[in-house]
Amino acid sequence: MSTAPSLADVACAHDGPHPVQALTVARFAGDMRRVAVPRAEAQVVVRFGPALPGGVDVHAMGARTQVQRKFVRGGQQAVLARLQPGLGARVLGLPADALAGRVLPLEDLWGRAATQRLLEGLVDAPDAHAAGRMLGGALSAQASARHHVPAPSPGLRAALARLQVASVATVARDLGISERQLRRMVRHALGVGPKTYARLKRFEHAVHAARAAPPHWAALAADVGYYDQAHLIAEFHAIAGATPQAFLAELRGVHPAL
């Protein structure tokens, strides 16, 4: 694949039935550390680089609950597709709770033939835009082929939106279901429970807000849903293993995967 543009150049998002919620592309010109903010949604990652067998590989990742750090050799490029909540099983053929916390070669999920067809096409892609479209098309085709896998619950989208601003009890009451049903719905879709999902989204929002402007931590904590600044600090320690200030400083010196 030819040289890819920067991350922001090819970031995109889908709101409709397409199985890919968001697509990002990163290029690592030199050796660097990479920091990945945890996501509740399943993701598929394609890597390109001279050190990889055949120049390309592809993996699926389940829900992650902690910041991941790794060293990346220069000359690599990556295309990352974040899947729509609830569609991971249709795309990958594995229940969300079985994939949570794991990274698996796509071949283990799709089989050798289907994965090899995708890899051969990706190697020949002229640029990152084409590689992203090819990956999205392959993911969509897999989802269509598994039409027998149940679709996400009709209330899932509303539940996930409400969980970012309201308690599990409140969301369950608003949707007219029990808390047990809500927990089962979210765990089936993502592999994590509703409280964990809300926690990850709150952390994600806090990181984005802090990077957008010099933060006043007490005000930021209130804006994104923490009880207070102490709660925010405790969550950063638990999820990132660092204070908010230290984690921001770390992100400034690495390639963030947000």
Q: Can you give the pLDDT at residue 46?
A: 95
Distance CA 34, CA 36 (A): 7
Predicted confidence (pLDDT) per residue in 76-116, tens digit: 889 999 999 999 999 999 999 999 999 999 999 999 999 99
Report which of 112, 43, 121 is spatially closest to residue 79, judged by C-alpha positions. Answer: 43
- What number is the average pLDDT over the span 114-127? 92
For β-strands 43-48 and 32-36, DSSP reports them as unpaired
The whole-number pLDDT of residue 82 equals 96
- What pTM value is reported for the model? 0.88
pLDDT at 76: 85
SS3 state at 158: helix
Neighbours of 27 (CB within 10 A): 19
219-237 confidence digits (pLDDT tens): 999 999 999 999 999 999 9
> Where is pLDDT greater, at 126 or 2?
126
pLDDT at 252: 85
Query: Is pLDDT larger for residue 51 or for residue 157?
Result: 157
pLDDT at 17: 66
Q: What are the tens digits of pLDDT across the range 183-217?
A: 999 999 999 999 999 999 999 999 999 999 999 99
CATH class (in words) of the domain with range 7-145: mainly beta
User: So where are the chain's domains?
Assistant: 7-145, 156-257
Question: Over 50: is that where the pLDDT of 119 sits?
Answer: yes
- Measured distance CA(77)–CA(13) in Å, rounded: 20
Kindly tell me if the per-residue pLDDT of 258 is higher than 60. Answer: no
Tell me what pLDDT residue 10 has: 42
- CATH dotted code for 156-257: 1.10.10.60
